[in-house]
Structure 1
């Protein structure tokens, strides 16, 4: 009889023993999380990724068997923990990790090269749901190196936040009332703005020169048909080549970007130049030299004014 009672007691003990990180009295355990960004680099628009190195630390109440299991970066293509330290502070466990990660990034290229990007570094706890564990941000001190420089970019804003990552599945756990799961999430939000003017002129100088070459044809006598038509045709090929060069640095996108707008405008204006050159030549052949010259002057003012206005408006809207 004593042996039976002992076995029953042992069974109740094993079944009722709480997980070290389980919620007590329906209150989830709280883990304070902080970060310190060391670097942001290797921005790759074609592969849609960038690389970051940062310190991450956690203050917790319970021991951790395997610290690397405490975190997951769901948006990382790959990440590596370069350094790990564990200690105790004021009776709490302290875990510090140095992480290098290649992060996925959906670049917003609508206003390229005057674009502004928001980088999000998401860190989740993959073991315990929010009923058992939540994150709170450690906002004491700086969250990134004040000397941090991102080549070609300026850091516009930086803030950290915590929340929950929602999944519309219970991952096979049929004890859940709903096939849903929520896990603690720590998010680093970094907004960067490109220092764009130098890049803009480097990228678009070829396009503007191509248009200028085409525009010069308005000042050539229509009787000289070869240079009158040869210049805009050459300018058109130069503009198309410039467009292909820029596109080679960018991923494919269905969004109409400022690159598409300005190059499309250049193609249309060069076609207009060629079309009205043909009209001017026809008028000159018919002996209407004055009308031909008037056509050249009028169309030159219209084409130049429209081209300049659309360029200025497009750039100002992108800034």
Structure 2
């Protein structure tokens, strides 16, 4: 084969590799980046009065005036005992208080409930009923909250941990919450592997149920709207430590795969053995990474990184076969070695570039 034709062949091979990794990178970054934007938008909708997250029932409008009792409510998160992304729950300990004027029999602290959660322990810490009609109650609560975490960006994920408080008896026509500015979060709150925001968000908004629960007193379309107090605290993964810890087995296998190109094509046995070893390492690492998240049909960061590694190993196998063919069948040892150098340089650069872009996009 003439030298000019060899150069065109190697150039075309390099362009093909670059296009493949560029396409994979663009798709993966677009999906992961889009999930990040969608998650942030979901948090915004959740903490904005009058709005509902996508897929949830929009709140029905309620009159601004009426025969209802305003109840000032605040919450102080004291600790997070457990958080399990795989099992979709977290267990907070918090203080919640209620302040209102009028009839003490309203007793909002004795009748509140947690939406998407269950109270495992509730202790009355303090209560006050003034002669002027000012009433106050404070409870310490331990709960188990159900939360379906968005796992598409694990292990570079961020989440908003939310508590939703409603009155179990009275809807918004009888009782409405007012958010207390004294709401906060303890400096002792820690979540392993995450940094915790020290700025808690909270909002009092309405929450509409598409049922009247069979109550004969409910008129109209049978929907009931309750006043709901929503508390949220944001958590975010610390640095890249967890990311590298999860994928260190995969990256070690990929280093072995690329190192196989350092052998001549005449050493076919060792080259195939190194590629096969890297494949088994990547598969084992995929089981480790998959154990962190619940099963789902959605492709996320873990799946993209794993797919990229397995694809690169398969691609390296094809390149190894081609190099052995050029060396043994065509008898062109120089072209075989040049083919190996181009493959490891361009594919290695593409693999590293995509693996840098993916966690950054998350």
TM-score (norm 2): 0.77
Distance 2:174 2:270 in 1: 78
Partner of 1:29: 69
Distance 1:196 1:77 in 2: 33
- Per-residue deviation at 1:83? 3.7
Do residues 298 (structure 1) and 342 (structure 2) align? yes
- Per-residue deviation at 1:69? 4.2
Partner of 2:270: 227
* RMSD (Å) for aligned C-alpha atoms: 1.9
Change (3 A) 1:196 1:50: farther
Partner of 1:307: 351
In structure 2, runs of 5+ residues without a counterpart are: 1-64
In structure 1, runs of 5+ residues without a counterpart are: 1-24
* Aligned ranges 1:138-287 → 2 under 5 Å: 138-140=180-182, 142-156=183-197, 157-175=199-217, 176-286=219-329, 287=331
CA contact (8 A) 2:120 2:143 kept: yes
Determine helix, strand or coil for the equivalent of 2:319: helix
Query: Which one of the candidate residues 114, 120, 128 is aligned to 2:162?
Result: 120
- After superposition, the C-alpha distances for 1:116-158 in whole angstroms (9 at most, x for unaligned) are 1011100000111111110101113x51113433322222342
CA contact (8 A) 1:82 1:100 kept: no
Query: Could you say which structure has the higher strand fraction?
Result: 1
Larger Rg, first or second structure (1 or 2): 1
- Per-residue deviation at 1:205? 0.9
Distance 1:304 1:41 in 2: 43
- Per-residue deviation at 1:103? 0.6
Distance 1:68 1:29 in 2: 14
Partner of 2:332: 288
Distance 2:255 2:351 in 1: 11
Distance 1:62 1:36 in 2: 25
Determine helix, strand or coil for the equivalent of 1:102: strand
CA contact (8 A) 1:126 1:183 kept: no
- After superposition, the C-alpha distances for 1:40-93 in whole angstroms (9 at most, x for unaligned) are 231112210011000111112212376664200021144320344322256311
Do residues 110 (structure 1) and 152 (structure 2) align? yes
Provide the aligned length of Structure 1 versus Structure 2: 294
Return the structure number with greater relative CO, CA threshold 8 A, min gap 6: 2
CA contact (8 A) 1:79 1:101 kept: yes
CA contact (8 A) 1:113 1:196 kept: no
Distance 1:82 1:253 in 2: 38
Distance 1:98 1:209 in 2: 48
CA contact (8 A) 2:103 2:133 kept: no
- Per mean C-alpha deviation after superposition, the further-off stretch among 49-58 and 297-306 is 297-306
Partner of 1:316: 360
Query: Which one of the candidate residues 75, 78, 97 is aligned to 2:116?
Result: 75
